Structure 1
Amino acid sequence: MLKSKVPVRSRKKGLISWEHRLAHITAKIERRGYLLDKAYAAAKSAELYEQQLKWEEVARREGVDNVNSNAQIIATLQERGVKLTKKTKKGNLSVDDEVLSSVALPLTEAIIQAKKAMKWRATWFDRALHGQDAEGRVHASINSCQARTARMTISGAVPAQTLPAGDSYVRHAFLAEPGHVTVSSDYGNMELRVLAAFSGDPTMLDAFHRGLDLHQLTADAAGVDRKAGKGTNFTVVFGGGWRAVVEQYGVSEAEAKKAVKAFWETYPGVKRLADRLQREARRTGFIYTGTGRRIPVDAHRIYAALNYFIQSTSRDITARALIELDRHGYTEFVRLPIHDELVFSFPEDQAAELAEKTARLMEMTVRGLLIPVDAEIGGQSWGSVLDLEASKH
């Protein structure tokens, strides 16, 4: 019954058996689990609790007894002459982080910091400590085919995809095996390379083949700085416009508009691909990816068709890597798959060799364009990899 609902194009590509095999592999990774540094996690939980208490005391002195009570916060701010206008979906006044950050008062700072300490303690460290098994391991829930685009999601005791980006603070709580080191292998500019490969845009392809700086290329075309160029490249891939460049990269409105306009003019092949996908979505309500996956596109979000295509295709490259690694017997070393990154625990004396072998297995050439993999070898903790990367800059 269910098989008949799978599009013929998808069945011909073998997606059903492919997804079953991937689910089996991720289940093996889940069962093995990730070793927890209990002493570190407990220490950080205690530190955050102290910070929470300190900031809650500041909030009390400023007139709010409960930092989780929106009613108290709203009443106190209004008493101090703060005009609140933002509303929640239910029509109530909002005092979210955006609102609180816009009000420069000791009270709002105390509320923000108290809530942050509370959230980090509960979400990262207490969840791991409470979720560990008898061997001191935590087990993530890896949802191998979860999002609309089939991107994998991770939940449970190790919600890895929501960890603070580029921050080793939480990652230090997760350890490679005794005598092992952590290796992080990630794809270089995966989404942009997928975009170049499937759009066939000659300028973008040439940049990657010649090792040019695509972000600088976009910036130069618009006459803006590299930050605006980089923001534009990633924002377009993820389905955003100039407003998203302003909000996410702190670029001025004028520069963001120039950069987005220059992007579409510089890479006309991308424009043709985006237009084709939007026409397909508008006509059928779906798009198909290069692997034959059918993805629904809402009528009011036709603009997202390109993003869905790139995101789903990129996910399938990571999925293929997991299957290939499993075929060669490396699954026992995999700790987590996180979008375009795989985290490994390798024996220290073999780490360099294994990192190189697995990186080459992960790499993939798409329509003549290599999607490369860079492996970074750290210490025992996952966080050590980020510390090493930070020391190089």
Structure 2
Amino acid sequence: MTERRLYLIDAFALIFRAYYGNMRLKNGAAYTMARMLLALVAQHKPTHIAAVFDRPEPTFRHEIYPEYKANRAEMPEDLRPQVPLIKDLIQALNIPVVELAGYEADDVMGTLARMASREGLPTVIVSPDKDLLQLVDDPGGVQVLNNRDGEVWIDRAGVKARFGVWPEQVVDVLALMGDASDNVKGVDGIGEKGARDLVDQYGSLDAILAHRGELKRKAHREGLEAALDRLPLVRRLVTVVTDLTLPVTPADLAYPGVDMAQARNAFKALGFEQLTKEFTAVGSATAPAPERRYRAAATLADLEAAVAACRQAGRFGLDTETTSLDPVRGHLVGLSLAWQEGDGLYVPLAHLKPGSEAAEGALPGLLPESGLPEALLDLRGDPEAFFDDLAPHLDPRNLPFREVRRILAPLLADPAVAKAGQNLKYDLQVLRRHGLPVAGVGDDSMVLSFLLDARSRHNLDDLSSRHLDLRPIPFEAVVGKGKAQKRFDEADFDQAVQYAAEDADLALRLCRKLGPLVDAAGLERLYREVDLPLVAVLADLELDGVRLDPAVLERLAVDLRAQREASLARAVELAGEPFNLNSPAQLGRILYEKLGLPVLKRTDKTKAPATDEDVLTELAQREDGEIAQVLLRHRQVQKLLSTYVEALPTMVNPVTGRLHTRLHQAAVATGRLASSDPNLQNIPVRTEEGRAIRAAFVPRPGWVFLDADYSQIELRVVAALAGDPVLLGAFERGEDIHRRTASEVMGVPMEAVEPSQRSAAKAVNFGLLYGQGAFALSGSLGITFKEAKAFIDRYFERMPKVAEWIEATKARALEDGLVRTRWGRVRPIPDLHSSNPGLKAQALREAVNTVVQGTAADIMRRAMVRFAQALAKEGLAARLLLQVHDELLVEAPPEEADRVEALLREAMEGADDLGTLGVSLAAEVRRGANWMECK
């Protein structure tokens, strides 16, 4: 049985701690406060509880001492509106809120604690405030819990140990030392230590005053004499009142526990997605939901009936289950169909027999112990052969793949029947590998969600909790987790059926819910003509992969390893002794103790001299900084080796012989695509070695690469959005935009612009996209702050429309709290309303950059869709392989090269067809036998 205890929470003490612990998150104080309270009640299971607040009105202390708390800073502007939210949140957690006009929270807690003591109810006061130590009373069961740094329980002995006196002596110490935070002056000449020592020696303030003439220190004697008249007032100010008449009694504070549904509604209203999900019961909804009719297809007739139902409905939810998260290597275990809410049919294909029945070495997949030929791992040839080989090891409840394919393939390939899903790109790839190509992509809930709010998480669990008030069956509940986790084909069959069928059902329901929201937001065209068709384009791009020539990388690796060893040897020579170049401690000792280089920065945690790249870069500029130059080169070479040169060959698919990166379209708030596994967008192109890495990317034998790159697309976007005649004119005339800018700013003819002037103009042209100021420009160009400021001022004098557009964009962003690209893609930026000047300034820079970069990203997405559609329309064999920022890489047979080049240029230069940008787009197309040759 839980021990009876009353927990009194010093609300504002926790609120301020929550605020400063999570300032960047919108309503971060409310979120963190909720987490703190939930942790408290979960750990301590209070039988009685209250959150006690200070009231905004003056208290009796202000009446008797008008200067009381006069030095307190105003509450932060972004915290003030959160206070009523926090109160509502506390009450939603069934925690009573108690406050009393004219008195502080300390007084209310003190009174409640004494009332509880009289009723035999032990009390815990949750607060870091030392003033409350005067209430500690072991016989009455009053303790203080300071949970600011861990959990510190303070009883009578704890007060003595931490504060030097007993609880009943705390008021006397406070009276002597005063309280600067409350603007209460104590006795001149007596600080906290002196006050504690005096009270410990004499026992009380009255005894000290009675013996003040005997005190050893003159400052103490004179201070007490001067303070005699006001000490009674000070003592009253620091004494917690314990005899108030309150509207509640401890009995009224009995705690029934957290109401899941009530708490969830509060979390959802505040947009706390993770908490909302945690308080959503698995497999059930808080709102009325359709009956769940999830089942496995037991016969081919079940499947045929489902196919007919999907055709009649005209659209259905689709989901696949596989042995791996990698769509290029995972094998299809089953798939699900859902044609109406609450219905879900799972088609089992490759569930293994229970472990006790499986033959040794029979597990399929890419595991070393697989007994299957490697050629089957990629389903080369007829995928039906793969399932035929698996047949002896399969659960009899599986349907034969050959027959399933016959029944299902026409439905999947029918563009007239719309398919809805969650992250459909993955399903398209898996199904295509298994001989089940899909046409008619109708909706993708992940893509819809990303359009509605790029900041949120877009996985099925979060979307279901947020939009359907339902928490799906966790994947771990089916397969386990950690070392004991199984593959899906090894999971319990009945659990797998419920999990898989639910996925298709929820995807369909989410698409029906989110589609109208996208339409209402004016984003339907962007969705239907850009983001949704891009799903299939990326699916094909990733699945096709790109060919890699490992011999090129091996030759480069030999050279880079030699350079690494040379850098190591030179660093040791300069240091005068061997040391570990990867050890910050050893490196710091060499740089700062032995070589005497200046310490420019220290680490946040250990305060040790920093050795990061920024510090080394600055040290490298010194005459005695050669070792920093060598260390930077060593790090650069090592990164090229470990990230690309040595790593890329290990990531080549052993069957396809190609590298399959992933491009994420719902990851970057600006709308740019993100690359991973491997990240091919970060291959350095400004160094000789970085460019050499691109030489390892080659087309299939006998084919050719075509590489298309937008020319200055972001600057063209700025020119168009700002309507600046200088920039627009330069682009229309096909001039070098940086040379034109330098000519305008420097007041010299185009032909007279020097390289250094063009470089400066280029720095400003690109710097303005990221809100770069004079300080940053001076650093990048190596000029004075005054010179940089003058350059920027002249820039905006010659191109005032750009400055006007930047300021108008910032003003709109501040008003709306968000920005929109040219075609309406939305990005909320919470820090636009931050009270922190640095965060707000950064948010304004993000606002301008998002409009520019996001508009360019939308155009690139549209270009990819247009090009893929053009290839399909003409039945060409050429394939789109990679997208890197403003660049597309294509491989084509030589006989198609001319036509593909024309289609590629047309697709990119006409990619503003959803809303004319107002400036011509230019794409440069180059050919080569490898990627580097194309540059």
Q: Which residue of 2 aligns with 1:391?
A: none
Cα shift at 1:304:
2.9
2:789 alignment partner, one of 257, 276, 297:
257
Deviations 1:27-47 (A, max 9, x none): 211111110111111222232
Give the Cα separation in 1 of the matches to 2:567 and 2:728: 52
Letter in 2 for 1:241: G
Which moved further from structure 2: 215-224 or 34-43? 215-224
- Going from structure 1 to structure 2, the CA distance change for 1:264 and 1:244 (only over 3 Å counts) comes to same
| 2:927 matches 1:382 | no
Of 208, 217, 222, the match for 2:740: 217
Task: Say whether the 8 Å CA contact 2:529–2:862 is kept in structure 1.
Answer: no
Which range moves more in the overlay, 38-47 or 335-344? 38-47
Q: Is the 8 A contact 1:232 1:256 kept in 2?
A: no
| More deviation, 181-190/327-336 | 327-336
How far did 1:120 drift? 0.7
CA-CA distance at 1:311 after TM superposition = 0.3
Q: Which amino acid counterpart does residue 737 of structure 2 have in structure 1?
A: L
C-alpha distance in structure 1 between counterparts of 2:529 and 2:761, whole Å: 41
Correspondence 1:42 to 2:42: no
Tell me: higher relative CO, structure 1 or 2? Use CA pairs within 8 A at least 6 residues apart.
1
66 and 293 in structure 1: CA distance in 2 versus 1, 3 angstrom threshold: same
User: Residues of 2 paired with 1:215 and 1:106: CA distance?
Assistant: 34
Contact 2:541 2:880 in 1 (8 A): yes
- 8 Å CA contact 1:232–1:260 kept in 2: the answer is yes
Whether 1:333 aligns to 2:333 is no
Counterparts of 1:352 and 1:88 in 2: how far apart (Å)?
56
C-alpha distance in 2 between matches for 1:228 and 1:270:
17
In 1, the alpha carbon distance for the partners of 2:594 and 2:528 equals 60
Residue 32 of structure 1 is matched in structure 2 by 544
The reply on whether 1:350 has 2:871 as its aligned counterpart is no
SS in 1 for 2:523: helix
* 1:258-287 alpha-carbon deviations (Å, 9 max, x no partner): 221122222222222222221121122101
Is the 1:154–1:160 Cα contact (8 Å) retained in structure 2?
Answer: yes
Q: Distance in 2 between matches of 1:220 and 1:179?
A: 46
Change (3 A) 1:197 1:108: closer
User: In the alignment, residue 716 of structure 2 is paired with which amino acid?
Assistant: R
Task: Look up the SS of the partner of 1:322 in the other structure.
Answer: helix
CA distance in 2, matches of 1:8, 1:166: 48
1:281 to 809, 813, 817: 813
Task: Please say if residues 180 and 345 of structure 1, whose CA atoms lie closer than 8 Å, have aligned partners that are also in contact.
Answer: yes
1:155 corresponds to: 676
Tell me how far 1:192 sits from its aligned partner. 1.1
Structure 2 match to 1:390? none
Secondary structure at 2:682's aligned position in 1? Answer: helix
Conserved in 1, the CA contact under 8 Å of 2:868 and 2:880?
no
Number of matched pairs: 385
**Residues 1:142 and 2:692 aligned together:** no
Q: TM-score, normalised by structure 1?
A: 0.89
In structure 2, the partner of 1:59 is 571
Secondary structure at the residue paired with 2:708? strand
User: CA 1:195–1:74 in 2, change beyond 3 Å: closer, same or farther?
Assistant: same
Q: CA deviation at 1:93?
A: 2.1
1:39-88 CA deviation, whole Å, 9 max, x = no partner? 11122223222322333233344334211101001111222222212134
1:369 aligns with 2:895: no
2:663 aligned counterpart, secondary structure: strand
Q: 2-side partners of 1:157 and 1:339: how far apart?
A: 15
Distance 2:934 2:707 in 1: 7
One-letter code of the match for 2:906? R
Identify which range, 162-171 or 351-360, moves more after superposition. Answer: 162-171
Q: Distance in 2 between matches of 1:227 and 1:149?
A: 27
Contact 1:34 1:174 in 2 (8 A): yes
Identity of aligned residues (%): 26
8 Å CA contact 2:709–2:924 kept in 1: the answer is yes
User: In structure 2, what is the equivalent of residue 97 of structure 1?
Assistant: 613
Quote the residue 1:84 is aligned against: 599
1:209 alignment partner AA: E
Letter aligned with residue 807 of structure 2: D
Contact kept in structure 2, 1:169 and 1:383, CA below 8 Å: yes
Residues 78-121 of structure 1, C-alpha deviation per residue, up to 9 Å, x if partnerless? Answer: 22222212134444421123323424355434422322221111
Secondary structure of the corresponding residue to residue 148 of structure 1 = coil
Cα distance between partner residues in 2 of 1:265 and 1:105: 41
Correspondent of 1:68 among 582, 594, 614: 582
Contact (CA 8 Å) 1:228, 1:251: kept in 2 or not?
A: no
**Aligned counterparts, 1:172-187, within 5 A:** 172-187=695-710
Residues 161-212 of structure 1: CA deviation (Å, up to 9, x unaligned): 3423374211011111111122111111111111111222223222222333
Give the 3-state SS of the residue equivalent to 1:329 in structure 2.
helix
Kindly provide the CA deviation profile for residues 317-349 of structure 1, in whole angstroms up to 9, marking residues without a partner as x: 100001101111269521111111111112234
**SS across alignment from 1:145:** coil
Deviation at 1:254, TM superposition (A): 4.2
Quote the Cα distance in structure 2 between the aligned partners of 1:338 and 1:204: 25
* Distance in 2 separating the partners of 1:117 and 1:319: 34
Output the CA distance in 2 between the equivalents of 1:229 and 1:17.
Answer: 37
- Counterpart of 1:295 in structure 2 is 827
* Bigger Rg, structure 1 or 2: 2
- What is the CA–CA distance in structure 2 between the aligned matches of 1:58 and 1:346, rounded to whole Å? 47
Gaps of 5+ in 2: 1-466, 468-509, 748-756, 833-839
Check 1:208–1:15 CA distance in 2 against 1; reply closer, same or farther (3 A cut).
same
Read off the aligned partner of 2:585 and give its amino acid letter.
Answer: A
SS in structure 1 at match of 2:638:
helix
3-state SS of paired residue (1:160): coil
Aligned to 2:637: 117
Please give the alpha-carbon distance, in whole angstroms, between the structure 2 residues aligned to 1:28 and 1:208. 34
How many angstroms apart in 2 are the aligned matches of 1:66 and 1:247? 32
**1:69 to 1:274, Cα distance in 2 relative to 1, 3 A:** same
Query: Take 2:858 and 2:828, find their aligned partners in 1: how far apart are those partners?
Result: 17
Q: Check whether the contact 2:545–2:659 (CA below 8 A) recurs between aligned residues.
A: yes
- Structure 1 residues 349, 254: CA separation in 2 closer, same or farther (over 3 Å shift)? farther
Q: 1:138 to 1:306 in 2, by over 3 A?
A: same
Distance 1:286 1:359, change over 3 A: same
CA distance in 2, matches of 1:112, 1:227: 25
Contact 2:878 2:893 in 1 (8 A): no
Matched AA of 2:720: A
- Secondary structure (helix, strand or coil) at the match of 1:51 reads helix
Distance 1:108 1:192, change over 3 A: closer
Rounded Cα–Cα distance in structure 2 between residues aligned with 1:155 and 1:251: 38
Conservation of the 8 A alpha-carbon contact between 1:171 and 1:382: yes
- Distance change (3 Å), C-alpha of 1:303 and 1:116: closer
Specify the alignment match of 2:527 in structure 1.
15
Q: Is the 8 A contact 1:10 1:294 kept in 2?
A: no
Matched position secondary structure for 1:353: helix
Cα distance, 1:191–1:248 mapped onto 2, change above 3 Å: same
The one-letter code sitting in structure 1 at the alignment partner of 2:714 is E
Structure 1 pair 93–136 and aligned structure 2 pair: CA distance change class (3 A): same
3-state SS, counterpart of residue 891 of structure 2: strand
Q: CA RMSD in A?
A: 2.4
Residue identity opposite 1:157 in structure 2: P
SS of the residue 2:934 aligns to: helix
Aligned partner (choices 761, 767, 777) of residue 235 of structure 1: 767
Unaligned runs of 5+ in 1: 387-393
CA spacing shift, 1:265–1:287, aligned 2, 3 Å: same
